[in-house]
Amino acid sequence: MNNSKKIVLIGHFGVGKSSLVRRYVQNTFTDNYMVTIGVHIVKKEIQLNQKSITLIIWDIEGKDDIKKVRASYLIGTSGFIYVVDPTRPQTYEHITSEINFITTQYPKAKYLTVANKSDLIEPEEIKRLFDSLQIKIDYFASAKSGDEVSSVFENLAQQLLDNV
């Protein structure tokens, strides 16, 4: 088996986890919201700096508390992408404790925080919002426009490659 790594997207329902995956893997987007139950898993092989890596991307159903996520879904996770919707404060109000949970329970795993739907808010405003709340957001992405979506996955993949 080649170098495969499991990445799990987590966050509240409706923040756009499935849309980010769809944009990254299929380069498509739809405005029609389709709730995810259970988990959809897709595979994507990429090359980074002459190294190949197979990302096994787990798009799991949205939960407002990471502790409610089925533990079996998180077995063997190498990287987490924590997704929030900047227009819905309840999707990021507990992000700090959620990230603490990840780093405590999965100390070897890498993680990135992503504010999706950033096309809905002015870039300066969205940055000011999270700065004022002292929340570190790694990427301001948009599954709709495609902005920064590839960067999110590739950055995490690079961290996983560096971690080997």
- Which residues of this protein are in contact with another protein, per CB under 8 A? 1, 4, 6, 13-14, 33-35, 37-43, 56, 61-62, 70, 72-73, 75-76, 87-88
CA neighbor of 14 nearest in space, from 26, 31, 27, 1: 31
Spell out the residues 6+ positions from residue 59 whose beta carbon is closer than 8 angstroms to its own. 9, 17, 18, 21, 36, 39, 40, 41, 42
From the CB of 18, what's the least distance to another protein, in Å?
11
Nearer to another protein, 38 or 123 (CB): 38
Nearer to another protein, 31 or 50 (CB): 31
Residue given tokens 């301001």 in the structure block = 140
H/E stretch holding 143? none
From the CB of 13, what's the least distance to another protein, in Å?
5
37 with 59: CB under 8 angstroms?
Answer: no
Spatial separation of the C-alpha atoms in residues 113 and 148, rounded to whole Å: 12
Nearer to another protein, 37 or 134 (CB): 37
CA neighbor of 141 nearest in space, from 107, 114, 159: 114
Nearer to another protein, 23 or 117 (CB): 117
From the CB of 98, what's the least distance to another protein, in Å?
19
From the CB of 8, what's the least distance to another protein, in Å?
10
